[in-house]
Amino acid sequence: MRFSLNGRVFAAAGFLFDKDGTLLAFDHWLAVMGERARRLARRLNLIESEEASLLRFMGLDPAHPRGTNQGIIPLPRCDAEAATAAYLAEALAAEPEEMRGLTVRVFQAVDEEFPFDRYIRPTAGAEAGLRAIQRAGGRTAVVTHDTAAAAVRHLAALGWTELVDVVIGLDVCVERKPGPAPVLAACRALGLVPGETVMVGDMASDLLAGRAAGCHLTVGVLTGLGTAEDLGPIADVVVPDLAALTLL
């Protein structure tokens, strides 16, 4: 495939995308984290001030439902579980293992029951880009710190099941970005060598993983948590969103 970014022309056989902040907007995680916090508060009979503190810890502003302080929202799900359990154990002087078990059960229940199809939305240009890559005969993978099982559900909520060939998550490859292992796993699953691929992400860890794996190109997008200052020194190209990708 030949494609252009910021007026520069490149060629590659496959694209590797981070998920949240790159293909998907972060907005739905506000609702997911809020539901997790509310269920934990009900199970633990927290008073209003305790629930508000839990919400703030988990990244939400109780006074402004659409507001966020990020908190643990950007963390991989397993890290978010561990951090929440540790917070509850300390805040409530509770048994750590008990809080760990409760947190895991609540997070799992929310993930299984949450209406992702009502909340998930793509970043600008994401769907058009995936479709253009597919039409051009390219291969695509998602490399995420979510579980692959959860990522598949999120992609399905947007009707993207047929647009992504491979999904690599922490339940498939335990090493995390910026380590190269998940990127290399995606390349193997696609049947491509890293030098034939492009790594696209909104965080420095995505781009560092692509570089470590030997990807032909690293592309930073500004639709997630990373800023131009964060990504510029690492990325070969930084674009405002995936609408900047044009297949030739």
Confidence of residue 62 (pLDDT cuts 50, 70, 90): confident
Residues 1, 178, 173: CA angle, nearest 5 degrees: 85
Confidence of residue 24 (pLDDT cuts 50, 70, 90): very high
Contacts of 106 (CB under 8 A, 6+ apart): 36, 39, 40, 43
Confidence of residue 66 (pLDDT cuts 50, 70, 90): low
Query: Domain-by-domain residue ranges, the chain?
Result: 2-25+121-247, 27-118
Confidence of residue 238 (pLDDT cuts 50, 70, 90): very high
Q: Could you tell me the CA-to-CA distances from 53 to 42, 59, 95, 105 in Å, in that order?
A: 14, 10, 19, 21
Which CATH architecture best describes the domain 2-25+121-247?
3-Layer(aba) Sandwich (3.40)
In the predicted model, is pLDDT for residue 230 greater than 80? yes
Higher pLDDT, 50 or 117: 50
Tokens encoding 154:
């999120």
Least confident of 107-116, 118-127, 172-181, 232-241: 107-116
pLDDT digits (tens, 9 = 90+) for 155-204: 999 999 999 999 999 999 999 999 999 999 999 999 999 999 999 999 99
Where are the alpha helices (H) located in the chain, listed in sequence order? Answer: 27-44, 48-57, 77-91, 96-113, 116-119, 126-135, 148-157, 181-190, 204-213, 228-231
pLDDT digits (tens, 9 = 90+) for 196-226: 999 999 999 999 999 999 999 999 999 998 9
Confidence of residue 69 (pLDDT cuts 50, 70, 90): low
Q: Could you tell me the CA-to-CA distances from 12 to 134, 136, 139, 218, 237 in Å, in that order?
A: 13, 11, 10, 12, 15
Contacts of 103 (CB under 8 A, 6+ apart): 40, 81, 84, 85, 88
In the predicted model, is pLDDT for residue 63 greater than 80? no
Rounded to the nearest integer, the mean pLDDT of the chain is 94
Go through 131-165 and write b for each residue having 16 or more CB atoms within 10 A of its CB, e for each that does not. Answer: ebbbeeebbbbbbbbbbbebbbbbbebbebeebbb
Query: Residue 27: what pLDDT?
Result: 82
Query: Residue 225: what pLDDT?
Result: 86
